[in-house]
Amino acid sequence: MKIGIYGYGNLGRGVETAVWHNPDMETAAVFTRRDPKDVQTYGAPVYSADQATDFKDKIDVMIICGGSATDLPEMTPMLAKNFNIVDSFDTHAKIPEHFAKTDKAAKDSGHIALICAGWDPGLFSLARLYFSSVMPVCTTYTFWGKGVSQGHSDAIRRIEGVTNARQYTLPVPEALERVRAGENPTFTPREKHRRDCYVSVAEGADKERIKHEIITMPAYFADYDTTVTFVSEDEIIKNHSALPHGGHVLCSCRTGQHNENLQKAEFTLSLESNPEFTASVITAGARAMHKMHARGITGCKTMLDIPPADLSALSDEELRKSLL
């Protein structure tokens, strides 16, 4: 399988290294909107994004490593006209629109497209689906963290006087324990997650005003218990430059004629690098697209539509023997 990587930031680099671990794949080309001479990969050849169409018969799956806010809504439908593609679109409210546009582009051109690949949306969505299908009358809970939210970190950085910031989302331990105990509770956002912020400011900046602006910021922080710790910019770079994340999907239900038996399921991810793990998932997703396209399937898919065996390099016989 020849993989193309379209966009070469944290995620694109993660895909290039993830492909190393899959002997049935190789990175045929990296495409960039920068000057290709300025992009240093781990070994894959670099081309200008404008040249991508020249590779339409040389690449089996194009993995699009752009941002959900502005890149992917344009790039994914455009590239699906010439390639089987995978993206990691994660702007929840805009998924129906992104799905519809990509589905049309892929179907019209006879390609297949996997959108929203990764761990959430992605593996966590799958856990929610399996749990809610097996335990249909129960509530499925998702807790995130401890992890860095780039969106929340960016929101803090836009405040006047802030030079750098890192925001960690954390589950509230008591809430997690109540769910684990099978209580099926109802939570406010504040009861479920808290937010810890590490912030560096310009000399002479008004820390009280900045702290107030953070903890009262609507949508981002006002509905959560938020701590703000002022640190030097050096300390942010030294101690807070990693991008860990993870979380838990949980579900419990009662079975039996008198609901006497408590059944509990929990899926946990603990990731030291969010973009590298996302890259690992979407690389497996690229294999599934290649296999499904070979069976004549076209159009837009999500991980909820992929027969799990298609993610693996092993044959169905090997999978039944080694994993069932």
Which residues of the shown chain bind a second copy in the complex (CB under 8 A)? 13-14, 17-18, 21-22, 42, 92, 95-96, 99, 116, 121, 123, 125-130, 132-137, 246, 253, 255-257, 260-273, 276-277, 279-281, 284, 287, 302-309, 311-313, 316-317, 319-321, 323-324
The residue with tokens 């998932």 is 281
- Crossing angle of helices 71-79 and 95-109, rounded to 10°: 20
Which residue, 48 or 312, is less far from a second copy as judged by CB? 312
Which residue, 58 or 92, is less far from a second copy as judged by CB? 92
Q: Judging by DSSP bridges, how do beta strands 140-144 and 193-201 pair with one another?
A: unpaired
Tokens of residue 13, six digits: 């680099």
- The CB-of-227 to a second copy minimum distance in angstroms stands at 26
Cα(76)–Cα(6) distance, rounded to whole angstroms?
10
- The CB-of-23 to a second copy minimum distance in angstroms stands at 8
Which residue, 14 or 217, is less far from a second copy as judged by CB? 14
CA proximity to 201, closest of 186, 211, 190: 211
Rounded-to-5 percentages of helix, strand, coil across the chain: 40, 25, 35
Which residues are 273's β-sheet partners?
Answer: 243
- The CB-of-74 to a second copy minimum distance in angstroms stands at 20
CA distances, 283 to each of 62, 179, 294 (Å): 10, 33, 17
- The CB-of-218 to a second copy minimum distance in angstroms stands at 24
Which residue, 60 or 120, is less far from a second copy as judged by CB? 120
Which residue, 184 or 263, is less far from a second copy as judged by CB? 263
Q: Which residues contact 131 (CB under 8 A, 6 or more apart)?
A: 138, 140, 249, 251, 265
Cα(84)–Cα(63) distance, rounded to whole angstroms?
9
- The CB-of-76 to a second copy minimum distance in angstroms stands at 15
Which residue, 39 or 319, is less far from a second copy as judged by CB? 319
Count of beta carbons in the 10 Å neighbourhood of residue 131: 23
- The CB-of-80 to a second copy minimum distance in angstroms stands at 17
Which residue, 73 or 221, is less far from a second copy as judged by CB? 73
Which residue, 133 or 203, is less far from a second copy as judged by CB? 133
Alpha helices by DSSP H, the chain: 10-20, 71-79, 95-109, 123-134, 150-157, 173-180, 189-192, 207-215, 233-239, 274-294, 316-323
- The CB-of-233 to a second copy minimum distance in angstroms stands at 23
Which residue, 34 or 321, is less far from a second copy as judged by CB? 321
DSSP character at residue 155: H
CA distances, 263 to each of 4, 101, 254 (Å): 44, 40, 6
- The CB-of-173 to a second copy minimum distance in angstroms stands at 17
- The CB-of-32 to a second copy minimum distance in angstroms stands at 18
